[in-house]
Amino acid sequence: MPSTVIRRFRYDPDAQELTVEFVSGVVYAYADVPPDLPERWRAAYAKGRFFAAEVRDRYPCRRVEAWPEA
């Protein structure tokens, strides 16, 4: 199910960093995220609920200015 809150996310396995863009355009990078989390998130039915339960307030984060280019 698409999320009404999350636009997209990207995981960098080398840095163990999860970058999340919200539909508002705000982008955050979450550090020390384990490699299994992105696949579990992709498989989750409710993306926003998964984010709230498994990511938000669980990993150190910082706001970034823009979505990182590949």
Q: Give tens-digit pLDDT for 19-60.
A: 999 999 999 999 999 999 999 999 999 999 999 999 999 999
**Burial class of residue 30, CB neighbours in 10 A (0-12, 13-18, 19+):** buried
Residue 18 confidence class, pLDDT cut points 50, 70, 90: very high
The pLDDT assigned to 17 comes to 97
Q: What share of the chain is helix, strand, coil (3-state, %, to 5)?
A: 20, 30, 50
Binning pLDDT at 50, 70 and 90, where does residue 70 land? low
